[in-house]
Chains A and B, each alone.
Chain A
């Protein structure tokens, strides 16, 4: 039981995809203008990650090692396309907001990275847990970054006003603020990790 929990929490802190592995930076910067958008992007990626991890751990014994990367890419791309269609049908406004970053989940290094580093070597249950853990770590990181940017930029968190908008510094919602806020968060995270170890 302990092992399973370890796999789950591994992705949230020790191997947090954003703050430690620093993978999948494009959606991390591009979709975190608000906490809600960041969280939606994180959840969308998590859905693909769990599905692809499960399927890849199921088929890992049938795929010849030389073509395993193309095979994984096909599996991931199929799940991304399914997600695209489902989002367009049931949450069209969110689909429009996240835009090109939804099809680009396919080239998110986290998804292919976990397929290669974890799912191709472990069982179905462990791979599923790994997908949930890494997905949660990614979602938390994106939500946090989105919340920081939204708070500093517009005085809101999840659209709830904390202080009046005119005191916000708009640069944090714009492109430069994305880089700066992420840089500071990574620094903070590594400082905290260094202390706790």
Chain B
């Protein structure tokens, strides 16, 4: 087709408007499912980190932000008939091997670690990325430990936790996020 200024502007304009309209349509249609998928992921993670705890509220509805040493994390309280029976904390650390890691940790009212779920990370495949399985493997599990009585740093730093083989930096980031989560859950429980 021959190009003239009018038909060039017109055809590009029409294509852009149609594309934008179609996109807006798809955006509206997928808005709900996207929000739902996010909420479900969060809910599944909360259930995963508080495995043996019965609760009948929706922790995501009572989420609150807690700031410890300038870092803000999200705390999800689990309650059975109004009584606090567990706390899930979505914590993070920016000094993983490849930057940010986000992990959800669960604590029971005594302060023991009940579980964790890695929400987001960019660690090296096959090394740091093993954190999802490593710290719940019975050989070097952190589950059931209490931060008040255990030294939750890697053994290289004098702590009680075995670092992931060849991924000390990722392990340290994981444990720093855990410490932050623990402090936040303590602070939250004290306010109740």
Listed in ascending order, the chain A residues whose CB lies under 8 Å from chain B are: 33, 59, 61-67, 70-71, 74-75, 77-78, 81-82, 85-86, 88-90, 92, 96, 153-154, 168, 170, 173-174
B23 touches A78 (CB 8 A): yes
Given A67-B11, A90-B33, A154-B126, A81:B3 Cβ within 8 A? no
Task: Report the minimum CB–CB distance from B139 to chain A (whole Å).
Answer: 15
CB neighbours of A74 from chain B (8 A): 12, 15-16, 19
Partner of B23 from A64, A82, A96, A170 at Cβ < 8 Å: A82
Q: Which of B34-42, B68-76, B103-111 contacts A (4 or more CB under 8 A)?
A: B34-42
- Bound together, the chains give a CA A153 to CA B12 distance in angstroms of 48
Query: Distance (Å) between the CB of B97 and the closest chain A CB?
Result: 12
- Which listed residue, B4, B8, B15, B27, touches A59 by the CB 8 Å rule? B15
CB A168 to nearest CB in B, in angstroms, measures: 8
- CB <8 Å contact, B30 and A85: yes
Whether A77 contacts B12 by the Cβ 8 Å rule is no
22 A-B pairs in the complex with CB atoms less than 8 angstroms apart: A63-B11, A64-B1, A64-B2, A64-B7, A64-B11, A66-B8, A67-B3, A70-B12, A71-B12, A71-B15, A75-B19, A78-B20, A78-B23, A81-B23, A81-B26, A85-B27, A86-B30, A89-B30, A89-B33, A89-B34, A96-B120, A154-B126
In the complex the two chains form, what is the Cα distance from A82 to B26 in whole Å? 7
Using a CB–CB distance below 8 Å, which chain B residues touch chain A? Answer: 1-4, 7-8, 11-12, 15-16, 19-20, 22-23, 26-27, 30, 33-34, 37-38, 41, 120, 124-127
Are B1's CB and A63's CB within 8 A? yes
Q: Are A85 and B12 within 8 A (Cβ)?
A: no
A residues in contact with B19, CB < 8 Å: 74-75, 77-78
Count chain A CB atoms within 10 A of each CB in B1, B2, B124 and give the residue with the most: B1
- Taking CB atoms, residues of chain B closer than 8 Å to A92 are 34, 37-38, 41
Asked if B37 and A90 sit within 8 Å, CB to CB, the answer is yes
- The CA-CA distance from A175 to B67 in the complex, in Å, is 37
Q: In the complex, which residues of chain A have a beta carbon less than 8 angstroms from the beta carbon of B4?
A: 64
Task: State in angstroms the CA–CA spacing of A49 and B163 once bound together.
Answer: 45
**Chain A residues with Cβ under 8 A from B3's Cβ?**
64-67
